[in-house]
Structure 1
Amino acid sequence: MIKIITKVTLAVLLLAVSVSKAQNFQGQAFYKSKTNMDGSLKIESSSMTEEMKQKFMESMKKEFEKEYILTFNKSESVYEEEQKLDAPEPSAGGMMIKMENSNDGKIYKNIKDKVSITEEEFFGKEFLITDSLSTYQWKIEGESKKIGEYTCYKATYTIPVSEKEKEEYANFKNKQTDSKTQFLMMDEPKEQLISVWYTPEIPISNGPGEYWGLPGLILEASFDKTVVLCSKLILNPKDKLIIKVPKTGKKVTKSEYESLVQKQMELMNSQRGDGKDGIRIEVHR
């Protein structure tokens, strides 16, 4: 009888230690993002030589090659671009290329409270976008593969075209007839397939960007022509990781921010719509 009690007590203690470790589980995942822009970019400008266009294209492509760090624990995470001290490179005609609204802001996710907070800079102004955490109805595909030493499983999610996207595209097409050229072009919206690979060996329901909601850390994500791949992991480091909630910028909702961006794009189009020495950029997905 004493032996049975001893065994039960030991089992309870081991379970308590296991739960404690799970609650304190933390780490960092380093991701590399790359977008295949071959055949997707088109530039039209009467004021740029072919050499300038080529340099412009190269600079644009670099804007789609980023490195990020996801710092996480069981319930919170911060996803942000890795800061580097590389010297700036000149681009076509002395212009520096910076993709506005390229979603490079710091993203904070609180899985417990289902809250997302994002810091974004748009045309020199900082915004703090607060929203409910996006919900993904993942479909487990039954495929597996190794990423590094971890066994990963495939899951997909299809984002349908919203009525708002259809309306915005219809408005764009109508306004196209009112000007000779457009500074930025818009493709007809289509369903977007998101494919991810997650590993239950890292019991964190999290991943790069806004992605989460699977029984394991997402190590790879593919959408449009972009692939985000985990290149390095640090689990349970000796020094405790601090996850800071973003606080910089004007507080807005996601819909308010998207409306602001849309208005700015329309303003840019109207200002460049005279066809005189403007730069026409088309991005095809």
Structure 2
Amino acid sequence: MKKLFFLLFAAISAGGIQAQVKQGTIVYERKVNTHRTITSEQMRAMIPEFRISKHILMFSDSISLYKLIPEDEAPDPFAGGGGGGIRMNFSIGGSDGGDLFKNFAQSKSVLSSELAGKNYLIVDSILQQPWKLTNETKKILGYTCLKATRKLTVQVAAPRMMVFGGGNANPVRDTSRPQPREIEVVAWYAQDIISPVGPDSYGQLPGVILQLDSDNGATVFTALEIKKEVDQKLLKEPKKGKTVTAAEFNKMRMDMIQQQMQGGNGSFRIGG
């Protein structure tokens, strides 16, 4: 009788383990509230309230790759179905368009980015994120997700306003220094999907993040579709570009902004 009970318990446990997902492909919608940093009603009338983009996260239990989905490919990312994986073409271009690769076993991240027409690989360490776990739950795409929160200090600069007149755009420069501000990040993660990954740079939770709200709606990531398979051939570390540290890349970017401002050209583009 004891042996029969043990075998039954083992079978149930094995079934539970098999139900857990350790790899997959997730499509997210990122929704940025652009009006949050604009006080001018005239400017708000000219700019859509939300900037929406779609991104794809491919992951195993120890490696992930996060990419922007170009707009012309965004509507049907899982077209084709079957078990053959997702077929897409991706663009590289800065913080919005670059590929973010993470190797959790090596605690290493690599972000491909573009600056002034040159490609860079920003190599950094994956640092532990101090999440506060709670017992609050909600359903997302059929998965029971748990809530986690964390505080984050960000540098916030006032937006640069553009005044239009006479057919030319004349920048009104803001010379104030960015000010630190503490924000709250709320994440909902699925424990049944075992991988410490999430959208963008977020992660380090006991399951994949399916929804994330940064600064009370300023930026919201929401999983739209989940596939329990991943094309392992696509989980590759970016190799195109000069290897730099995050500090080196940020310095180059700030130097370029400074040069643009001193040159009197208020319109400039970095990355995508």
Partners of 1:219 and 1:19 lie apart in 2 by: 20
Q: Percent identity at matched positions? A: 28
- Provide the residue aligned with 1:265 in structure 2: 257
| 8 A contact 2:152–2:184 mirrored in 1 | yes
| 8 A contact 2:153–2:180 mirrored in 1 | no
Give the drift of 1:197. 0.6
Partners of 2:233 and 2:210 lie apart in 1 by: 20
**Distance verdict in 2 for CA 1:242–1:117, change over 3 Å:** same
Give the drift of 1:55. 9.2
In structure 2, give the amino acid aligned to 1:77: S
| 8 A contact 1:27–1:241 mirrored in 2 | no
Partner of residue 125 from structure 1, selected from 104, 118, 127? 118
In structure 2, give the amino acid aligned to 1:182: R
2:239 is aligned with 1:244: no
**Distance verdict in 2 for CA 1:42–1:101, change over 3 Å:** farther
In structure 2, give the amino acid aligned to 1:109: K
Q: What are the within-5 Å matches in structure 2 for residues 1-285 of structure 1?
A: 4=3, 25-38=22-35, 40-41=37-38, 57-58=47-48, 64-85=51-72, 102-160=95-153, 181-182=172-173, 187-224=178-215, 225-236=218-229, 242-272=234-264, 278=266
**Distance verdict in 2 for CA 1:184–1:69, change over 3 Å:** farther
In structure 1, give the amino acid aligned to 2:70: Q
| 8 A contact 2:98–2:111 mirrored in 1 | yes
Give the drift of 1:73. 0.6
| 8 A contact 1:183–1:269 mirrored in 2 | no
Partners of 1:36 and 1:211 lie apart in 2 by: 19
Structure-2-length-normalised TM-score: 0.71
Higher helix share: 1
The secondary structure found in structure 1 opposite 2:30 is strand
In structure 1, give the amino acid aligned to 2:220: V
Partners of 1:38 and 1:145 lie apart in 2 by: 28
Partners of 1:72 and 1:251 lie apart in 2 by: 23
Partners of 1:250 and 1:56 lie apart in 2 by: 38
The secondary structure found in structure 2 opposite 1:159 is strand
**What CA RMSD, in Å, does the superposition of the two structures yield over aligned residues?**
3.7
- Provide the residue aligned with 1:95 in structure 2: none
The secondary structure found in structure 2 opposite 1:85 is helix
- Provide the residue aligned with 2:168 in structure 1: none
1:137-164 CA distance string (max 9 Å, x none): 1101332211121111111111236xxx
Give the drift of 1:40. 2.4
**Distance verdict in 2 for CA 1:55–1:186, change over 3 Å:** farther
Give the drift of 1:75. 0.5
The secondary structure found in structure 2 opposite 1:262 is helix
1:244-273 CA distance string (max 9 Å, x none): 111111110111111111111111221228
* Total equivalences in the alignment: 233
Give the drift of 1:112. 1.2
Structure-1-length-normalised TM-score: 0.68
Partners of 2:192 and 2:220 lie apart in 1 by: 22
Higher strand share: 2
| 8 A contact 1:110–1:116 mirrored in 2 | yes
1:29-56 CA distance string (max 9 Å, x none): 100001111252368xxxxxx8xx7896
Give the drift of 1:115. 0.5
Gaps in structure 1 of 5+ consecutive residues: 44-49, 87-99, 170-179, 281-285
| 8 A contact 2:137–2:145 mirrored in 1 | yes
Structure label with greater radius of gyration: 1
Give the drift of 1:66. 1.1
